[in-house]
Amino acid sequence: MIGTAQSDGQALAIKGLSLEFPTFSGSIKALDNVSIEVGKAEIVGVVGESGCGKSVTTMAATGLLPKGRYKITGGSVSLFGRATLTMDDKELQNMRGKVVSTIFQEPMNALNPTIRIGKQLTDIIMRHEGTNLEDAKQRAHDILADMLIGEPERIMRAYPFELSGGMRQRVLTAMAFSCNPGLIIADEPTTALDVTVQAVILRLIQNRARRTGTSVIFISHNVAVVSQLCDRIYVMYAGRIVEHGLTRTVLDTPQHPYTQALLRCLPERLAPKQELEAIPGAVPNLMHPPAGCYFQPRCGEAVERCRTHSPQLSGSDVQQVACWQRGDGVRILDKGHGNA
């Protein structure tokens, strides 16, 4: 049945999605021909700097962007074989929570501060599962315990402001999994947490997803976090996918200069007292994006062709890159080398 962890086929298929935000000064081209696929029981990561379009992509796919504030200029989105861009509000509401759930970045904003945790959980379960209150309470108790939350009864009686940030994030994770959705969208769920709590939340998401066969799309600006969790990875820059492939392959032999730059910025890759590297320049203005490759103004390898023509993704089944200096017919970088 569509919407369960046992669904057959592809969980999410975003194909050539282009999106603009109209403003008085002109249109902001937030997404440009974005294609992302998530298979059954697969965990896929999407990484990139803040503002590159990671969250906008998934929000557009699930109908969470404010109506009338954006314009789809191309592409399609299919969720378990159902086109979401043409769904009305009622269809989208029925889909969210049961077919697809989202773990948001800041649980204090996602949870209602005036309603007890137990009621927020049971309301979702009763709405999508059609169970009575007692069964919903038991299910809420069990899912909280599964998130390694001690004293689930006390947590169900608590309000969100009475819990720590890590505990609220566990509750939000439990809420996302409570109706056994086929797909979980984890939108930077560990950004505001310390490293120890972050590791616990990541392991909970991964273990629950593997056990139930749930697909996950994990959004993050932290490449190190994605490397611990995901089967495949998409690297996004200024509304475009610039590289994707098997996580280990992309991280061990990064091809796009932007991917290489992201990896060089990781503190754990530096020797003691070595200065932390930063990517030079700034992200482009997407109201007036540069010609050719969007990364070329910040790229030390850019040639004339990069400034006039946009590269398309090319490569093998395990790794593809959108770069005139890489891809089919161009030599692959040796493992461990960041520059050509």
Query: Would you say residue 266 lies in a domain?
Result: yes
Please give the pLDDT value at position 327: 56
Range of the domain at 263: 12-108+182-321
Query: Would you say residue 37 lies in a domain?
Result: yes
pLDDT of 188-219, one tens digit each? 988 777 888 888 889 999 999 999 999 999 99
Query: Would you say residue 138 lies in a domain?
Result: no
pTM reported for the whole predicted model: 0.89
CA dihedral 26, 28, 34, 38 (to 10 degrees): -140
Please give the pLDDT value at position 265: 85
Q: Distance between CA 49 and CA 105 in Å, rounded? A: 15
Q: What percent of the chain has pLDDT over 90?
A: 72
Asked if pLDDT for residue 78 goes beyond 90, the answer is: yes
Query: Would you say residue 248 lies in a domain?
Result: yes
Query: Would you say residue 67 lies in a domain?
Result: yes
Please give the pLDDT value at position 53: 95
Helix, coil or strand: residue 228: helix
CATH classification at residue 58: 3.40.50.300
pLDDT of 7-66, one tens digit each? 457 999 999 999 999 999 999 999 999 999 999 999 999 999 989 999 999 999 999 999
Asked if pLDDT for residue 177 goes beyond 70, the answer is: yes
Query: Would you say residue 1 lies in a domain?
Result: no
Please give the pLDDT value at position 86: 93
Q: Distance between CA 111 and CA 101 in Å, rounded? A: 14
Place 334 in a pLDDT band, splitting at 50, 70 and 90: very low
Asked if pLDDT for residue 224 goes beyond 90, the answer is: no
Asked if pLDDT for residue 331 goes beyond 90, the answer is: no
> Per the structure block, which two tokens stand in for 197?
């709590």
- Could you give the number of structural domains in the chain? 1
Query: Would you say residue 155 lies in a domain?
Result: no
Asked if pLDDT for residue 263 goes beyond 70, the answer is: yes
3-state SS, one letter per residue, for the chain: CCCCCCCCCCCEEEEEEEEEEEECCEEEEEEEEEEEEECCCCEEEEECCCCCCHHHHHHHHCCCCCCCCCEEEEEEEEECCEECCCCCHHHHHHHECCCEEEECCCHHHHCCCCCCHHHHHHHHHHHHHCCCHHHHHHHHHHHHHHCCCCCHHHHHHCCHHHCCHHHHHHHHHHHHHCCCCCEEEEECCCCCCCHHHHHHHHHHHHHHHHHHCCEEEEEECCHHHHHHHCCEEEEEECCEEEEEEEHHHHHHCCCCHHHHHHHHCCHHHCCCCCCCCCCCCCCCCCCCCCCCCCCHHHCCCCCHHHHHCCCCCEECCCEEECCCCCCCCCCCCCCCCCCC
Place 106 in a pLDDT band, splitting at 50, 70 and 90: confident
